[in-house]
Amino acid sequence: LSLTIQWLHEADIVVLGSPKPEEIPLSWIQPGTTVLNCSHDFLSGKLGCGSLGVHFNGLIAEDDVSLLAAALRIQNMVSSGRRWLREQQHTRWRLHCLKLQPLSPVPSDLEISRAQTPKAVEVLAKEIGLLADEIEIYGKSKAKVRLSLLERLKDQADGKYVLVAGITPTPLGEGKSTVTVGLVQALTAHLNINSFACLRQPSQGPTFGVKGGAAGGGYAQVIPMEEFNLHLTGDIHAITAANNLLAAAIDTRILHENTQTDKKLGINKTDPNALTEEEIGKFARLNIDPSTITWQRVLDTNDRFLRKITIGQAPTEKGYSRQAQFDIAVASEIMAVLALTDSLVDMKERLGRMVVASDKNGQPVTAEDLGVTGALTVLMKDAIKPNLMQTLEGTPVFVHAGPFANIAHGNSSVLADKIALKLVGEEGFVVTEAGFGADIGMEKFFNIKCRASGLVPNAVVLVATVRALKMHGGGPGVSLLLPSSKHTFLKISLSLKTSLNEYRCKTTNVFITRTDTRAEIDLVCELAKRAGAFDAVPCYHWSIGGKGSVELARAVRDAANKGSRFRFLYDVQLPIVEKIRTIAQAVYGARDIELSPEAQSKIDRYTQQGFGNLPICMAKTHLSLSHQPDKKGVPRDFILPISDVRASIGAGFIYPLVGTMSTMPGLPTRPCFYDIDLDTETEQVKGLF
Amino acid sequence: LSLTIQWLHEADIVVLGSPKPEEIPLSWIQPGTTVLNCSHDFLSGKLGCGSLGVHFNGLIAEDDVSLLAAALRIQNMVSSGRRWLREQQHTRWRLHCLKLQPLSPVPSDLEISRAQTPKAVEVLAKEIGLLADEIEIYGKSKAKVRLSLLERLKDQADGKYVLVAGITPTPLGEGKSTVTVGLVQALTAHLNINSFACLRQPSQGPTFGVKGGAAGGGYAQVIPMEEFNLHLTGDIHAITAANNLLAAAIDTRILHENTQTDKKLGINKTDPNALTEEEIGKFARLNIDPSTITWQRVLDTNDRFLRKITIGQAPTEKGYSRQAQFDIAVASEIMAVLALTDSLVDMKERLGRMVVASDKNGQPVTAEDLGVTGALTVLMKDAIKPNLMQTLEGTPVFVHAGPFANIAHGNSSVLADKIALKLVGEEGFVVTEAGFGADIGMEKFFNIKCRASGLVPNAVVLVATVRALKMHGGGPGVSLLLPSSKHTFLKISLSLKTSLNEYRCKTTNVFITRTDTRAEIDLVCELAKRAGAFDAVPCYHWSIGGKGSVELARAVRDAANKGSRFRFLYDVQLPIVEKIRTIAQAVYGARDIELSPEAQSKIDRYTQQGFGNLPICMAKTHLSLSHQPDKKGVPRDFILPISDVRASIGAGFIYPLVGTMSTMPGLPTRPCFYDIDLDTETEQVKGLF
């Protein structure tokens, strides 16, 4: 084995073996080197080396194990081993950023998106350290990332975790997605810091109703924006399929239980104790009380005529008709499950736990009771993998899950954040956003999403436009901007301070500049800092890309490095009512809450059923800190009315309703689908935003 | 230019130029060589060579155009040009087939599928001559193929076109998909002949209801079968989204027209002549008569409770409720459009032409009238590309479109067939199948699909099982097989002869052997040949793969090479009633047809509206040649009742209803979703077929 010994001194891994490993003086091997024992069978090609997870081509025939051949084979093995070890670790990014040449005036979002050619997604994947078998490519510019990466990089320290939230918005939205994208473009393309944006997948239905994409805007976008906004990789379609399979299973089960004998159901025993577990689990009567069904059908279409319907009116359904509804697909509990799960095992458990109705004894009936857990998991097996895309400047983005902020928690997926935190490395940044205003999206991010994930945010960016500040400072509506006063701004800044201090996060306030004057911006920044913000900076990514948000990126980096004092707002072990009251008082500024009898009885029922220790997901308007959309600024001394309380047991939260929440949007009189077209020559989409 | 001249004699393409092309003696260039003129600018790197579709890196700086550099550059150009020219042509396949090791007894379909590792789809694509930019990969084993290939290979002669149809089946189906897959496995993996199978994409809904996949079965399958049966690349999801956007647009439009002033609709003119074209097209009142709406919502879920529903019952819909229904997604006219279209332009036109209702004057209202054509096309832009997969033996398969055989034509897409016919080359075979029995699927394949595509079939394989022959020969039902007699078989064989001779196609009869004895098979083969079949052979692909169908493959090759005498059954210019009568008499053996008053009035209306010259797509039971499922064998002298007539104007056919056709399947008492599960360790699907 003389040839091999020569080389042992330099190796990271040493394979001992063939034919007598004990003959190699171990003192020749450097301290710290991994030593693998290896048999003659291995060297002669009979065994692979599965324990290292590598495969290589044998150089020698079984009957010709010469010393030279053995040495070559070992060398081969070691270089494979080295490569494998290297692959197990986080690698430095070597990212090729895309150049931007911003035009003025800023063209439409679609024009900007189309003017930039994205990198092939496999190139991007390689640049950020993904292995070839960790991605599944969908077309040219989208890929799914496999969860096996979390196992490979489990020892890698997480990067910094940054949330982008907004102040109480105007009905037009204040650009949180745009800030999120602009910030990562600045961090990575201009400050050379690894960063990842994690965004929600938008619902496709509204895309054809009212203009306004969710891919960011201007020169801070995810591209190609039409892929982002339509179909993506089919995750929402999978949710629709799973949700509606469960709905069909419920009604069909009730019909069959009501119209068939036990024999037809597969039971021919009279003694209940004689039933096997399978018979009990699969064929026993569930006795679902139809009036208690909470599971609705969904579609990813804005179809207002499905808000309230009567189903089961064909003669084949034998009179078992009942009132029901369709919700928009992203309002499905399965979407909330997808957003909160952290593994395939956990997703399957959550799907099985989903409560769809009560039986005639008031006991909860779950998807597992209906025997559909496995099928739902199969339908969702690809949806659980986050979708990789890129920004206009070629930096990586995950687009994954988009639960309705109305009745769910409105945050993108835990899994995308976890994977991104590993990929950026310890010095990198993951930036994600929370739907609606800070009172809703940020509160739920902290108390629901972070509780589920165990992740701790390092900084919060609070997006505010002068437009929104003015409206909440006394303007009559978003379309008319009143002249502002110091007093107006101050009130708002104080409201920020109130809600943010609760979380003790380093906070950076950001101000979008589209319609604002420099004097106004300076004033707002000054007041925000005086009100307790870590820093307050204007940014210009919308008009010039990441370069316009470098100041923000620096402020975020500094804030994140100061250390976090994060804590949850409430203990989940508190009674449901106490948790609701805490949120209402500490975040919204309410004097107290008032429960309807319906809400009180639901709380009693959920507590009795053992669901009392779940976090709370408030379903409240995002247009005011109170329950009344027209109460701008910082309302005080109001009583928050809780009209009803519902539960998403699989997702893992109780959601109190503050007023009525629409779960199915409609199309406006002039839907934007009129303007959407496909150029059949170039195959390009036209008129989409 | 001395260096260049040396080399001109051997080139396929010569680039003249730099600085004085006229100095090159043209006599030095071989006859037949392509000559391109090329400027100094090109040689100095200022111009690309877009006309050849190639790009290459310049070797020389703009200010250093030496003769040597110019020559090198030209050489580079020529080799690019050669490669480009080669790519424009059909290339011989160099297919690496996968080996099968069949087990006995034959394991479950899913076990067989999983035991075989498919080739990476990009490898398969390359093997069959697809260029890198002609495919869009979806995961590891699926890819979409771009339609640009049809332009590239437009001068390539088509391969042979083979249809697999079946005799009137039993309710269990007779295995047409399995024969289709077995046949291509035999042709390519065992006879080394290029071949492609073109299959329908199955509806996902029934996958969770009754066992039985559509990917073939046993050792003749498309793999991975779970990818084939679930989601695929999202085409059906896209159809669902497009279909339901149109449905929502109809009801919302009626609501807005009924509840809003013209001003709100965007019209502020009183003189109709003063309206601009845009105002007329987009804002004018359509006055849809709600009672005439034929456009239904769809879901890819077996949900019987949606067969008849009342929609619009929420207070926000102001009392405009009406009765409606959901169909299974594959019953959408958009699926039939996808299956019959031959280009993006054509698909857009067909989508726009779809008639959804009549206005209050009885005029048809189309998708185009609703302004939604462009949006529908955008939603369908990826669905139009056929999906590439592979058989168990690694031969290529297209899976594309699957219109409901009940109310549509039940055949896979024209585009997949056209692309496959180019890819296999002149000596190759494309094998596709037609849903239901020959009286329905094959008749529609000939008179609807072939009429739309202009393609002419070269041979028909008619699948028959002894089981089905016995049932139609007098057996009481499929679960009980009666002893058979010569007389029984003869009757069936004669019925085949009757309907097949109409089309004058070379026909090969095939008999599946799963439950049949050798004596029975020999008898059936003999009788089939006596009845006019070109050949009749047993085949065994289900139990041993393509090797078991080599005899069939040889018979098909011989039949296809004998030349086709194909003609259409009827002239589309005949009146609708005449066309229906021709099909009823010539194919079903009816004495005559009988129209309900409803059917007659619809025929009058469609004729008056200008739709009288469309082909006919009969909606009839597949379990009998007649309209009565229990009439087995060859019923005679019956009168075929036409209860109603409907139209799919975008797809391009009139469909008469013979009895009631269910367009929404239900779940059985014990749906197979109980058995479906995902192993969260291995991520493998369990219990799917």
Average pLDDT estimate for A92-118:
92
Select from A137, A345, A378 the residue whose CB has the most chain B CBs within 10 Å, as the one to mutate to test that interface.
A378
With cut-offs at 50, 70 and 90, classify the pLDDT of residue A47.
very low
Compute, in degrees rounded to 10, the torsion defined by CA atoms B363, B369, B375, B380: 30
Q: Does A686 reside within a domain?
A: no
Q: How far is A293 from chain B (nearest CA, A)?
A: 14
Q: Does A102 reside within a domain?
A: no
More confident residue, A233 or A31: A233
Domain boundary among A324, A359, A379: A379
Active site residue A93: no
The pLDDT of residue A250 is above 50: yes
Same domain, B333 and B369: yes
User: β-pairing, A142-145 with B309-311?
Assistant: unpaired
Same domain, B395 and B541: yes
CATH number at residue A388: 3.40.50.300
Active site residue A83: no
Alpha carbon distance B411, B442 (integer Å): 9
Helix extents (H) in A141-234 = 148-152, 176-184, 225-229
On chain A, the residues whose CB falls within 8 A of the CB of B683 are 344, 381
Same domain, B13 and B71: yes
Active-site position among A168, A178, A240, A507: A178
Same domain, B444 and B477: yes
Q: Does B669 reside within a domain?
A: no
pLDDT given for residue A209 in this prediction? 86
CB contact under 8 A, B231 and A680: no
What's the total number of domains in chain A?
A: 4
Same domain, B268 and B358: yes
Active-site position among A429, A511, A611, A638: A511
pLDDT in tens, A586-604: 888 899 999 999 999 999 9
pLDDT in tens, B574-595: 999 999 999 999 888 899 999 9
Average pLDDT estimate for A126-140:
93
* Angle made by CA atoms B498, B499, B500, in degrees to the nearest 5: 100
Same domain, A74 and A169: no
Q: Does A679 reside within a domain?
A: no
Segment holding A501, helix H or strand E: helix A486-501
pLDDT in tens, A355-379: 999 999 989 999 999 999 999 999 9
CATH number at residue B624: 3.10.410.10
CB contact under 8 A, A316 and B323: no
Same domain, A184 and A275: no
Least confident of A109-118, A621-630, A636-645, B481-490: B481-490
Backbone angles phi, psi at A137, to 5 degrees: -80, 140
Is the CB of residue B619 less than 8 Å away from at least one CB of chain A? no
Q: Which residues of B581-620 are buried (b: 16+ CB within 10 A; e: fewer)?
A: bbbbebbbbbeebebeeebeebbeebeeeebbebbbbbbb
Alpha carbon distance A493, A516 (integer Å): 17
With cut-offs at 50, 70 and 90, classify the pLDDT of residue A636.
confident
pLDDT given for residue A487 in this prediction? 33
In this prediction, what percent of chain A has a pLDDT beyond 90?
A: 54
pLDDT in tens, B84-143: 666 767 777 989 999 999 999 999 888 999 999 999 999 999 999 999 889 999 999 999
The pLDDT of residue B17 is above 60: no
- List beta partners, residue A195: A429
The pLDDT of residue B612 is above 90: yes
Average pLDDT taken over every residue of chain A: 81
Q: Which residue, A200, A198, A206, A207, is CA-closest to A235? A: A200
More confident residue, B4 or A315: A315
Q: Which residue, A293, A315, A302, A308, is CA-closest to A246? A: A293
On chain A, the residues whose CB falls within 8 A of the CB of B323 are 313
Q: Does B689 reside within a domain?
A: no
In this prediction, what percent of chain A has a pLDDT beyond 70?
A: 75
B592 by DSSP, 3-state: which?
Answer: strand
The pLDDT of residue A511 is above 70: no
pLDDT in tens, B369-414: 999 999 999 999 999 999 999 999 999 999 999 998 888 999 999 9
Q: Does A647 reside within a domain?
A: yes
Same domain, A511 and A623: no
Average pLDDT estimate for B508-535:
68
Is the CB of residue B226 less than 8 Å away from at least one CB of chain A? yes
Average pLDDT taken over every residue of chain B: 81
CB contact under 8 A, B237 and A260: no
Same domain, B173 and B251: no
Domain boundary among B349, B379, B409: B379
Active site residue B240: no
pLDDT given for residue B377 in this prediction? 97
Alpha carbon distance A487, A491 (integer Å): 6
Same domain, B393 and B268: no
Same domain, B197 and B298: no
CB contact under 8 A, A344 and B371: no
Least confident of A215-224, A477-486, A533-542, A626-635: A477-486
Residue B639's domain spans which residues? 576-657
Q: Which residue, A623, A239, A321, A616, is CA-closest to A446? A: A616
The pLDDT of residue A510 is above 90: no
Contacts of B425 (CB under 8 A, 6+ apart): B90, B92, B93, B156, B157, B159, B194
Q: Does A675 reside within a domain?
A: no
How many CB atoms within 10 Å of residue B670? 17
On chain B, the residues whose CB falls within 8 A of the CB of A237 are 231, 234, 237, 240-241
Is the CB of residue B144 less than 8 Å away from at least one CB of chain A? yes
Q: How far is B642 from chain A (nearest CA, A)?
A: 22
On chain B, the residues whose CB falls within 8 A of the CB of A382 are 139, 231
Q: Does A400 reside within a domain?
A: yes
pLDDT given for residue B82 in this prediction? 63
How many angstroms separate the Cα of A496 from the Cα of each of A477, A629, B466?
20, 18, 79
Same domain, B294 and B418: no
CB contact under 8 A, B375 and A307: no
CA B70 to chain centroid: 51
pLDDT in tens, B164-178: 988 777 666 668 899
pLDDT given for residue A525 in this prediction? 79
pLDDT in tens, A77-87: 666 666 666 67
Average pLDDT estimate for B299-319:
96
A281, two tokens: 């689990």
DSSP A391-410: ETTS-EEEE-----TTTS--
pLDDT given for residue B346 in this prediction? 97
How many CB atoms within 10 Å of residue A314? 18
Alpha carbon distance A226, A109 (integer Å): 10
CATH number at residue B322: 3.30.1510.10
The pLDDT of residue A547 is above 70: yes
The pLDDT of residue B39 is above 70: no
